[in-house]
Structure 1
Amino acid sequence: MNRTIRPDAVLVQAVIAGALSFAHLHDLAEAAGQTGWKAWAYPVSVDLLLVAAWRRLRTARRDRSAWTWFVIALFASLGANIATAGLLDLDHVPAWLCILVAGWPALAFLGGTLLVHSPAEPAPSAQAVDELAVPEVEMHRTDEPAPAAIVPELPPTPPQPAPDAPVVPAALLDHARKIADAHRASTGTPMPAGALSTRLGLPAPMADAIAAQLQLV
């Protein structure tokens, strides 16, 4: 797949700013006594240290060493641009500036070496992320569970008539109970519900309601 190169305003601006900064660093180094290829190497050294420190900060935000070298490289680049803006006579550079320019290669070499060889923060593995996301639950209990409460057994309740069953008067229920008890006493077996219904001569719903309350089969 062919990619077409399109002009980007940000990229063009970065190239222009980089070229101007490069030229200012070169002019300052040359004015400080660094001639020939040495003057051209100074801008490369400053910009490379600045980029290396910035790349280090992208992966380790809390790295104080990366912040230190980033500030040093930024100060060197910014100071050179300001110095060449007419505030400094490049024909008569002060001695302290010549010392700084001459000592810059050793400082840049030290900074670049420390940035490259400093241990990076290890990325958390998938297993560590899972352990952090899901807390471990202790399954073993050290305390003994409380004994279950003892619920007293209740006597069985007699079946209640259905909600739509007819209401049996108390006198009729007592009369039916007496008949059922007499039948049990004479035969030794419970009185069938059909026999009680025939004996009382009641309609089926009323007889079923009485039989349900007397627990007749």
Structure 2
Amino acid sequence: MGAPYHQFCPVSKAMELLDERWTMLVVRELVMGSERFNDLRRGLPRMSPTLLSRRLQQLERAGIVERTADGGDVRYRLTEAGEELRPVVEAVGAWGTRWIGELGDVDLDPKLLVWDMHRSVDVAAIPEGRTVVQLQFPDAPRGQRDWWLVITADETDVCDVDPGFDVNVSISSSLHTLTSVWRGDLEWGAAVKSGSLQVDGPAPLRRAVPEWFTLSVFAGVPRPAIR
């Protein structure tokens, strides 16, 4: 728990728990469907494992998270109280989309972007069999420039090492451009037309690839009119 505000206001009492660094982002990942510790880590790549473990313990003690274990399979799920935070997370995300300024380079993270994309694949739109999408970010830090999504009807795997399968579609983009497309700040077609995003592969797949991903849950949030 954070430092007490010593106010009877329920907002202050809630924030004693929720305004500690990373806490609401852990809740965000649980809302997004992550249940295993390693999946939570991949959605929070800059959070240390030690701090993640501590925050999960705090949320469990507060009745926000339930931990279950079936042998070595440990999962974390939101309780009824935790589920009531879902609209809070959604409202904060929508507000941030509308009113927080443009992204800086320090806000960009290829690990989080690819992880977000992997859990927003529209399997119904993917060709049958195995589809491999290679993502290339020439401007990303060394060791984080090449990624692969291996998509089947059953699952989507994220690889940061070449999985050895034939690539169906290759996407090359600056990290800022693809993040902007993912967030709904920039249209896919406009990015391709400008040359800031290149797609290589058979023509039918190049045309279809934007439909393979449902984009960020906040991509459709209306932006304020520019004055």
TM-score under structure 2 normalisation? 0.21
Structure richer in helix, relative to its length: 1
TM-score under structure 1 normalisation? 0.22
Q: Greater Rg, structure 1 or structure 2? A: 1
Structure richer in strand, relative to its length: 2
